[in-house]
Amino acid sequence: MRENERIYDDITFRPRGAVEVPACDLSATVLGTKLALPFVLAPVGSTRLFYPRGEALAARAAAAAGTAYSLSTLSGSTADDVRRASSGALWYQLYLIGGRAVAEAALARAAAARFSVLLVTVDTPVSGQRERDLRNGTAQLTTGRPLTMLPYLGQFLARPAWLASFLRDGGLMKFANVVIDERPMAYADVATALAASVVSWKDLAWIRKAWPGKLVVKGVLIAEDGRRAVDEGADGIVVSNHGGRQLDSAPATLRVLPEIVNAVGNKTEVLLDGGIRRGGDIVKALCLGARAVLVGRAYAYGVGAGGERGVARAIEILRTELDRTMKLLGCASVAELDRSYVNVPASWRPD
C-alpha cells in the first residue's frame, strides 16, 4: 500500500515552457462513454458505513461532476437505489459471492438499472490479512454479541454524531446486492463468502453471456494476465492490486502499467487504480498509457467527512490539480498526454 503511493515520486515531469494554455480539455472517452474527467470513482465496499446512503450520495456527486461511479457488490445500497440517485454513468463491480445464480440475478438487476460497465474482480480468491480490521475488532463488532463487542465499543462512543446517524440509517448494513434465499447477506458472513467465490478465466464466458454491456477485468498485475483478458474478450482491464490490501509485496500498479500497456497494445482499454492522491498522479498514469484511472480512498475520505458534499469536494480537488498540472506542462488536452511529458526510469521500460 505504501509503495502504491511512493512510486509516483519515481516519475518526474518534462514541461513545455512558453506555451499558452487558456483552457484544458479534461474529458476522456472510456469504454464508449465520454466523461468530463479522466477518472472514475472506484468500487469501495461498505461505503454505507462511512455515511448514511453513502453509495447513492457518491454516485450523485459523480454524475454532477460528469464522471462515472462504480458500485461494489459489497455495498449497502442496491443498484436501484444508486440509479434513483444518479442520472450519470454507472458501473457495477462483481464478486461471485453466493454462486452463479446469485451473481446472475445481481447482474440482471444492475442491467435493468442501466449500469453500463461490469468490473469483474479477479484478485480476491480469499480476503487479504486486513490488520487494521484485526486491531479495530471488526469481526467482534459484527457479531451482535454485547460481551464480545465490549472491548471495541469505545471507538463508537467517542463519535456520538456518527453513531446517531449510523443507527438512524438502520445500524449494521447488509449486502443488499447479494440476495441469498431471498435475504441480503449479513455483514459478518463476508470473509467466508469471499473464500468460496473464486473467479476463474472460464467464468468469463457465462458472465459475458449474462451481461449486456462492457466487461472489464479488474486486478491485472502481469502482462500474461493482460493478454489472457484480451483473449477472453474483455473490453478493458484495470491494473490493480486492490489498493495494496490483498497480497503483500505485490508490485505497485504504476510500476507494472507500462509492461501491461505494451503487452495488450490497442486491443483493449487499460485503466489503473492504486495510490492516486493528487491530480499530478492522474497525469502520470495517463502519460504511461492508462486511458483513465479509478480513485477510491480519495473520495471515500470525502464521503466519510461530509457525504455528498465531501465527495464533490474531493472530486473538485482532483479536477483543479489536474487542470493546473496540465497547464504547467503546456498540454491542452488529456488526449495529448504521452511519455514525452514524463521522465521514466530506464528499468521501467518494457522490452
| Residues carrying an active site annotation | 242
Burial class of 13 by CB neighbour count within 10 A (0 to 12, 13 to 18, 19+): middle
The residue assigned the cell 502519460 is: 287
Specify the pairing of strand 39-41 against strand 175-180: unpaired
DSSP state of 25: B
Cell, residue 194: 469471499
The CB density around residue 31, as the number of other CB atoms within 10 Å, is 22
The CB density around residue 311, as the number of other CB atoms within 10 Å, is 31
* CA distances from residue 204 to 6, 90, 95, 154, 270 in whole angstroms, order as listed: 34, 21, 12, 45, 18
Rounded-to-integer distance, Cα 34 and Cα 67, Å: 9
**How many residues are present in the chain?**
351
Rounded-to-integer distance, Cα 336 and Cα 332, Å: 8
Is the four-CA dihedral 244, 54, 40, 91 of positive or negative sign?
A: positive
Side-chain-facing half-sphere of 331: CA atoms under 13 Å: 25
Burial class of 133 by CB neighbour count within 10 A (0 to 12, 13 to 18, 19+): middle
Compute the C-alpha angle 296/225/120, nearest 5°: 45
